[in-house]
Structure formats: C-alpha cells, structure tokens
Amino acid sequence: CGPEGVEKCVVLKRIRPHVVSDDEFGNMFLDEARIAAKLSHPNVVQIYDLGKADNTYYIAMEYVSGRNVQHLITKQQTLGGHLPVAHVCRIIAGVCDGLHYAHARKDYDGKPLNIIHRDISPQNILVSFAGGVKVVDFGSAKASTQLALTRSGVLKGKYAYMSPEQVRGNKIDHRSDIFAVGLVMYEMLTGVRAFEQDSSLKTLKAIVQEKPLNPRE
C-alpha cells in the first residue's frame, strides 16, 4: 500500500525455506530478477521490485488474474473436448510475441542480452480473465549477464518440453524456446504431450530419437 491509500496487488516470490541457504538457488533467484527486470512487454509478467526481508530475498511481480494453460487443457479434457483452434492460436501468438521481445532484448548499452527462457511449458503461460497472455518464470532462463552457471550434466526445465539440444546438453539458442512453444501448441490442440512416455528417461529418449504422432491422428 502506497501513499494516500494507493494499492496494487502483487505476487511475492520467495526461495523455499529448505533451500534458502543453497548458494546456487540464491544465484538463480537473483538471475531471474535481473533478467526479468530488463523486460517490459505486454506478454511478459512484469517485475516490480527485488528486496530482502527476514534474511531472504523476494521478488514482487505482476499479479495476473486468470489461469495457466495447463489448467485450461485439463479443464477441457474433463469436459471431453479440445480447446478451440482460434483460442489456441491467439494464446500461442501472445507467447511468441513475448518471447521474440525477450530474445531480441538488448542491454542499455546496446549489447544483446541473449535471453533464452529454457522452461516454456503450459504451467508458465498465463491467460488472464481479460484475455491477456503472459509468459512467466524466468527462473531457468539463460542470459549473457547471469551469475549462476549450469553444472555439467544438469538439465534445467521440464523434461516433456525440452528441445533435443537441451536433452543432449548441447549449446542452445532461442530456437530451443520455439521448439517448446510448438510442443505446448501440440498439447493444447490434441490434449496429449507430444513425447511423453511412462518414465523421464524414455521421454528424453523420444525427444531425441522419435517424431510425434501427426496431430490429425
């Protein structure tokens, strides 16, 4: 609450107490704040403040009144149908707009930030009740300015939406996010995850070696 009773509803994101002493989590948290604070776009959730209270950091971010895409998919499945194609296309277009902005973003001195989200999934795409589309959670993002380094052999992101390059541990670029967007769109249209198997290892193997079933089938 600000002066003269001015109020703004925000979301406070904090590090969970059981990992608050882990330096890697702390650096990732700070990286997320630094990256997201440089982004200001209608299709990206806005960061308002980074602070510290009770010896732990917090991020104050935009509150989106709505649902994530995973909720929409699950709700539609319970109703025995699929999301309307026009709605899917509208949501995906918003995601692409937000990601293109992030991918092309430059620092204040004109140096490319080389931002890659690395964790595009239905849970990280919000649709507001007013019809807005927002990409959220840059906690796994990679950028040229980040402090935290990914340990060798550590995969960041949700397995079912990784690109083959991520799975192999190869160097990735913005195309990895685009691949993930395609997988989200596939799931929104069909209700099925393109590569998901009965174990994480089989899912990762399918991403690298197999092709998804034609959506028309």
Catalytic residue status for 119: yes
Tokens at 37, concatenated: 């604070």
Element at 204 (helix H, strand E): helix 200-209
Q: What are the Cα distances from residue 7, in Å, to 10, 58, 60, 78, 87? A: 10, 19, 14, 38, 33
Q: Which residue is catalytic, options 119, 137, 177, 198?
A: 119
Tokens at 122, concatenated: 């239905």
Residue with tokens 């510290």: 52
Number of separate helices (H) and strands (E) present in the chain: 6, 6
Count of residues making up the chain:
217
Other C-beta atoms closer than 10 Å to the C-beta of 27 total 14
Tell me how far apart the alpha carbons of residues 118 and 42 are, in angstroms, rounded to a whole number. 20
> What positions carry a catalytic annotation?
119
